[in-house]
Structure 1
Amino acid sequence: MTTIAVKCGRIRVDDKMVHTSYVVQSSQKISHFLHRHEPPVLAGDVLVLQNEADILTVYKPASVPVHPCGQYRKNTVVGILQAEHGLAPLYPVHRLDRLVSGLLIFAKSADKADFLRQQVEARLLQKEYIAKVIGVFPEKEVVIDANICYNAREGRSFVEINGSCIDKAFKGKTACTKFTRINTNGKYSLVSCKLVTGRTHQIRVHLQCAGHPIANDMLYLSEDVPSRSANGVGADRAASGTCKPPMSNSHKDDSFAEDSASEEFSIDPMCTNCPNLPPKGYDEDEEGIWLHCVRYSGPGWCYECPFPDWAHLC
């Protein structure tokens, strides 16, 4: 593989093609160009709700990250808005997790973005989430005031128990969330979630602490999740091995849905099966054969709820 990459010019020395017998000298720079497949996202449209002179408000569908991160570059809200609507540059005022759908506010200038962020930090702008949880949530308002520890290595948060986290190396941060039941069908409940603080995975772990985890949140449905760092996979992938989201009868035989939910997307250094077809709105000269974006239509995680994801921002 390395020999082929050198001959194809994917491995270069000081930005120049070299022979496979070339001996690298001290202080020379070696570059390895990779053909990256972005993980697919659901093909729901990023809807432009209001386009003003200095502010843009859009609806973000589930599964799409807000901005380039990790393996995502074009399959992001920012990338899609630029390619399909010609809207750029954009500055996110706040973010939503990749699996969360809801309203997003972008500024069209750095100064306006800083101004709006200050309003968010001063709590002049409020965010409210809606989550589908397991069980009959209490009818009265529930306030969870429990410190949260976040283990970045494992990609999970934990609630402090008796003043200490499960992992003694981590110290919890104050966290408070207010929950109000919207309705219930006896098996699941729709719950309004209002953040008093903003910690990583706060709503998810506080709902788990309350005994009503989000219905299809594999990472927090069970407290016994295998170590992602030990297995070398993502946190959600590790959790999927022991906990699967509930599926309706109409999807039990849908192998595509299961495969797409658990597939681990990797970088293929020598891809021969990817069509050299840039998606609509992208510069072919810019990407060439190095990037192929995919957006596909498919079922979300949740099969019995009006929302296609595990949480929704109103």
Structure 2
Amino acid sequence: MNTKRKREDMEIVWQTPANPPERHDYIFRNGIRYVKPYYFEFISHVKNRWAGKTIVDLFSDEFKGRPRDYYESAVKSGRIQVDGQKVSVSYVVQSSQKISHFLHRHEPPVMSWDVEILCEEPDVLTVCKPASVPVHPCGQYRKNTVVGILQAEYGLAPLFPVHRLDRLVSGLLILARSASRADLFRQQVYFLFI
């Protein structure tokens, strides 16, 4: 869901995993595909072992990639919320509550080569994956992926990779239209090589 919030006289679009990539998310310059920076909501639910901790202690203990003062600032500014509400740094979390962490994302650029569709059938899609583009969302990549680009440019979703190709590799990529079909195709590919 896209929601717009005012923050320091600037309108920001907050995105959740439900927001699909769209054509206007991309900028092309000198043979490179960039993604416009965006705010993204990472969602987690409080595990039983987290219950009873303050929100800042929880993040400091469990997500060690950032210093404690970052988490204090994020809670105070509302970039970390509990059940959709701003809370204080001393707020004690309860089991099953929804925690949202909003981050400003800058995805790494990729080469702007097209993801060429070679064959499109009801259950499967075969494409030519360009080098530098990861297959599916991972790490710092969400929209600058084969799956994201196909969704933005052709409205093709959902797609499930039958096999993988490394980000830096180009080649033939097979994507299924459902998770169950992807599993079936994987089994068929596996039995070809036994």
Q: Fold-level match, TM-score > 0.5?
A: yes
Q: Unaligned stretches of 5+ in structure 1? A: 125-195, 197-314
TM-score by length of 1: 0.35
TM-score by length of 2: 0.55
Match of 2:121 among 23, 48, 52: 52
Q: Which whole-Å CA distance do the structure 2 matches of 1:58 and 1:84 have between them?
A: 13
Partner-residue secondary structure (3-state), 1:12: strand
Give the match for residue 24 of structure 1.
Answer: 91
1:87 CA drift (Å): 0.7
| 2:159 paired with 1:67 | no
| 2:112 paired with 1:43 | yes
Give the match for residue 110 of structure 1.
Answer: 179
1:105 CA drift (Å): 1.0
Partner-residue secondary structure (3-state), 1:79: helix
Closer, same or farther in 2 for the Cα pair 1:31/1:106, shift >3 Å? closer
Give the match for residue 96 of structure 1.
Answer: 165
* Letter aligned with residue 88 of structure 1: A
- Percent identical: 67
Partner-residue secondary structure (3-state), 1:112: helix
Closer, same or farther in 2 for the Cα pair 1:88/1:24, shift >3 Å? same
1:247-289 Cα offsets, whole Å, 9 max, x none, are xxxxxxxxxxxxxxxxxxxxxxxxxxxxxxxxxxxxxxxxxxx
Closer, same or farther in 2 for the Cα pair 1:17/1:110, shift >3 Å? closer
RMSD: 2.5
Residue pairs, 1:132-147, within 5 angstroms: none
Q: Which whole-Å CA distance do the structure 2 matches of 1:72 and 1:65 have between them?
A: 8
Q: Which whole-Å CA distance do the structure 2 matches of 1:91 and 1:2 have between them?
A: 35
Bigger-Rg structure (1/2) = 1
Q: Which whole-Å CA distance do the structure 2 matches of 1:100 and 1:119 have between them?
A: 23
Q: Which whole-Å CA distance do the structure 2 matches of 1:26 and 1:113 have between them?
A: 39
1:34 CA drift (Å): 1.3
Partner-residue secondary structure (3-state), 2:103: coil
1:36 CA drift (Å): 1.8
Give the match for residue 81 of structure 1.
Answer: 150
Closer, same or farther in 2 for the Cα pair 1:26/1:65, shift >3 Å? closer
Closer, same or farther in 2 for the Cα pair 1:8/1:49, shift >3 Å? same
Higher relative contact order (CA 8 A, sep 6+): 1
| 2:74 paired with 1:5 | yes
Match of 1:34 among 103, 107, 122: 103
Q: Unaligned stretches of 5+ in structure 2? A: 1-69
Q: Which whole-Å CA distance do the structure 1 matches of 2:124 and 2:109 have between them?
A: 28
1:88-107 Cα offsets, whole Å, 9 max, x none, are 11121111011000111112
Partner-residue secondary structure (3-state), 2:187: helix
Q: Which whole-Å CA distance do the structure 2 matches of 1:109 and 1:70 have between them?
A: 23
Partner-residue secondary structure (3-state), 1:83: helix
Partner-residue secondary structure (3-state), 2:135: coil
The structure carrying a bigger strand percent of its residues is: 2
Closer, same or farther in 2 for the Cα pair 1:13/1:72, shift >3 Å? same
* Letter aligned with residue 123 of structure 1: L
Partner-residue secondary structure (3-state), 2:151: helix
1:113 CA drift (Å): 2.0
1:155-211 Cα offsets, whole Å, 9 max, x none, are xxxxxxxxxxxxxxxxxxxxxxxxxxxxxxxxxxxxxxxxx9xxxxxxxxxxxxxxx
